[in-house]
Amino acid sequence: MGRDLHCLTLHAAADGLARGDFTSVELTTALLDRISSIDANIGAFLTVTADAALSQAAAADARRATGEVNRLDGLPIAIKDVLSTAGVETTCGSRMLQGFIPPYDATVIRHLRTAGAVMLGKTNMDEFAMGSSNEYSAYKVVRNPWDLGRVPGGSSGGSAAAVAADECLAALGSDTGGSVRQPAALCGCVGLKPTYGRVSRYGLIAFASSLDQVGTLTKDVSDAAMLLGAIAGHDSRDSTSVDTPVFNYLADSDDGLHDLKIGVAPQYFGKGLAPSVGSKVREAIGTLVDAGATEREISLTHTELALPAYYVIAPSEASANLARYNGVKYGLSDLNASDVDEMMAGVRAEGFGSEVKRRIMLGAFALSSGYYDAFYLRAQKVRTLIKDDFDAAFEQVDVIATPTAPTPAFELGSKLGDPVAMYQSDIMTLPASLAGLPCISVPCGFVEGLPVGFQLIAPAFEEERLLRIARLFERFRGDMEAPAREVDSL
Ligand code: GLN
């Protein structure tokens, strides 16, 4: 029996459990051991629920011994700390929610529990999911497993690093403007953001409600399909979740790529893109073309406006969503304050970090009377133009291919003094978020020892198509020759 159980994919581990090669308790123990031995140097976890994980694993083994079980049954998964977990501290990476124990599970967590998955713990993140490097966590930084001096991306940096460092088989994250895809690209794993409305947001702590979506971080595309199948679906508790069929995203099809048209937009290969990243992504497109697909040039004319529109819309929604943290109902409070105003002001001054405060101020300004039309309304109009660009492109092509992030992982601290440089890490992921489209980042190679991600974008609710093409890409790409990971020298 292989002892490197922590390195398995979800599907390989599911096969191993089904064959009886090992038990869920053995698998879970291997991952908990891995976390204990390396996480002090990675910082991926905020909470490790070792005892609960082992008892869930034992229960999974008992279920398996007596009958048919779900394919996810007994598989250890990590959860971004933005998702409410009943009885387990959920901080959202913020001091504001330190010690907050949700009384209920997010719908996606309920689905995972029903499927029998084992929860290893809660992963580190940028505070309230605002950030692109995980350095805005109120608790600790996360280090990129490939190079410990570099960021893992954000805001789901803990989830991406945990998958990339083999501290969990897969993880859930959330993506508002790129927070699953960008860290997946920087850490060399697969990051899937479903269509807005595909997965319930109930119990996902709100950042920008018209954009937030739960996504997956996995070691390969099949695992993304497996996990999406478990978490997708209509939920009456989230009025924006859409009642549309959930497919068997895992179904393999050998249709190949012959009728496939891939759209490539020059707007994604210009300013800001590191040439070395651009050439890896071009090679990835070449791989699909060699396998029979046709490349078509498309124009996504308003791409450049996505960043300014997002940084009006997302902070506006955040300023409203974060009004609930006032010391009364959740987390941080101050019972010694002399009156309510002093308490609210004091708690918000102390509980929020500077990036969160910046977003609240930006949003409150954009929404204030006299500025609403000039900023918020205008940004919404730009959002429609961006969506119209995608709609027009999808009249001509089946899927759009772009880089996921403009550069590989950057050095810790290098963008902390310059918020706009940090925001620019998301120029390739924001447009599809504004349009609500499903997208995936798949590793496509390495540049100077660091992973590069390839983003595919599909029309709304076409996750089946997206995953099929991504899986075919992965197959034609084959195993990549990976450079040494610094985590392996720990
Ligand atoms: N990095 C982007 C931001 O800071 C996106 C974050 C996200 O997707 N949650 O807003």
Q: pLDDT tens-digit profile of 196-253?
A: 999 999 999 999 999 999 999 999 999 999 999 999 999 999 999 999 888 777 776 6
Cα 359 to ligand 1 centroid, rounded to whole Å: 11
Helices (H), 84-164: 107-115, 157-164
Q: Is the shortest distance between the CB of 129 and ligand 1 below 6 Å?
A: yes
Which residue(s) pair with 193 in the sheet?
Answer: 439
Q: Is the shortest distance between the CB of 318 and ligand 1 below 6 Å?
A: no
> pLDDT for 317-327, tens place per residue?
999 999 999 99
Q: Which of 94, 132, 133, 155 is catalytic?
A: 155
| Ligand 1 atom having least distance to the Cα of 359 | 10
Alpha-carbon span 361 to 171, nearest angstrom: 32
Q: Is the shortest distance between the CB of 433 and ligand 1 below 6 Å?
A: no
What is the pLDDT at residue 3?
57
Cα 177 to ligand 1 centroid, rounded to whole Å: 5
What is the pLDDT at residue 281?
98
Cα 176 to ligand 1 centroid, rounded to whole Å: 6
Q: Do residues 381 and 157 lie in contact, with contact meaning Cβ atoms separated by under 8 Å? A: no
Residue nearest to atom 5 of ligand 1 (CA): 177
Q: Is the shortest distance between the CB of 132 and ligand 1 below 6 Å?
A: yes
What is the pLDDT at residue 1?
42
Cα 190 to ligand 1 centroid, rounded to whole Å: 18
Question: How does DSSP assign 289-337, residue by residue?
Answer: HHTT-EEEE---TTGGGHHHHHHHHHHHHHHHHGGG-SSSSSS---TT-
Q: Do residues 210 and 314 lie in contact, with contact meaning Cβ atoms separated by under 8 Å? A: no
Residue 251, Cβ density class (10 Å: 0-12 exposed, 13-18 middle, ≥19 buried): exposed
> Which among 213, 404, 426 is the best mutation to test ligand 1's pocket, defined by most ligand atoms within 8 Å of the CB?
426
Q: Do residues 173 and 215 lie in contact, with contact meaning Cβ atoms separated by under 8 Å? A: yes
Task: Please enumerate, as own/partner, the contacts of 31-39 that have beta carbons within 8 Å and a separation of 24 or more.
Answer: 31/5, 31/6, 31/76, 31/120, 31/167, 31/168, 31/169, 32/120, 33/6, 34/6, 34/165, 34/166, 34/167, 35/120, 35/121, 35/167, 37/490, 38/165, 38/167, 38/487, 38/490, 39/167
> pLDDT for 346-359, tens place per residue?
999 999 999 999 99
What is the pLDDT at residue 245?
84
Amino acid at residue number 115 = A
Where does the pLDDT of residue 451 fall: very low under 50, low under 70, confident under 90, or very high at 90 and above? very high
Cα 133 to ligand 1 centroid, rounded to whole Å: 10
Q: Which of 179, 200, 316, 425 is catalytic?
A: 179
Cα 132 to ligand 1 centroid, rounded to whole Å: 6
Mean pLDDT calculated for residue range 408-429: 96
Cα 435 to ligand 1 centroid, rounded to whole Å: 15
> Which among 123, 132, 175 is the best mutation to test ligand 1's pocket, defined by most ligand atoms within 8 Å of the CB?
132
Residue 374, Cβ density class (10 Å: 0-12 exposed, 13-18 middle, ≥19 buried): exposed
Closest CA to 405 of 387, 437, 429, 382: 429
Alpha-carbon span 342 to 258, nearest angstrom: 65
| Ligand 1 atom having least distance to the Cα of 174 | 9
Q: Do residues 216 and 172 lie in contact, with contact meaning Cβ atoms separated by under 8 Å? A: yes
Query: Tell me, what DSSP letter sits at residue 74?
Result: T
What is the pLDDT at residue 228?
97
- Say whether 80 is catalytic: yes
E strands in 12-107: 45-48, 76-80
Mean pLDDT calculated for residue range 442-469: 97
Q: Is the shortest distance between the CB of 426 and ligand 1 below 6 Å?
A: yes
What is the pLDDT at residue 329?
85
What is the pLDDT at residue 4?
92
> Which among 125, 179, 205, 316 is the best mutation to test ligand 1's pocket, defined by most ligand atoms within 8 Å of the CB?
179
What mean pLDDT, rounded, does the chain reach? Answer: 96
> Which among 126, 136, 433, 439 is the best mutation to test ligand 1's pocket, defined by most ligand atoms within 8 Å of the CB?
126
Q: Do residues 414 and 435 lie in contact, with contact meaning Cβ atoms separated by under 8 Å? A: no
> Which among 155, 416, 434 is the best mutation to test ligand 1's pocket, defined by most ligand atoms within 8 Å of the CB?
155
What is the pLDDT at residue 253?
66
| Ligand 1 atom having least distance to the Cα of 154 | 1
- Say whether 156 is catalytic: no
Closest CA to 212 of 243, 241, 189, 170: 241
- Say whether 179 is catalytic: yes
pLDDT exceeds cutoff 50 at 100: yes
Q: Is the shortest distance between the CB of 175 and ligand 1 below 6 Å?
A: yes
Cα 110 to ligand 1 centroid, rounded to whole Å: 25
Alpha-carbon span 222 to 285, nearest angstrom: 20
What is the pLDDT at residue 2?
45
Q: Do residues 303 and 268 lie in contact, with contact meaning Cβ atoms separated by under 8 Å? A: yes
Query: Tell me, what DSSP letter sits at residue 150?
Result: B
Mean pLDDT calculated for residue range 43-53: 98
Which residue(s) pair with 451 in the sheet?
Answer: 446
> pLDDT for 131-183, tens place per residue?
999 999 999 999 999 999 999 999 999 999 999 999 999 999 999 999 999 99
Distance of CA 14 to the CA centre of its chain: 23
Q: Is the shortest distance between the CB of 131 and ligand 1 below 6 Å?
A: yes
Q: Which of 80, 219, 387, 415 is catalytic?
A: 80
Cα 320 to ligand 1 centroid, rounded to whole Å: 16
Alpha-carbon span 239 to 177, nearest angstrom: 21
Alpha-carbon span 3 to 77, nearest angstrom: 19
DSSP-derived 3-state class of residue 443? strand
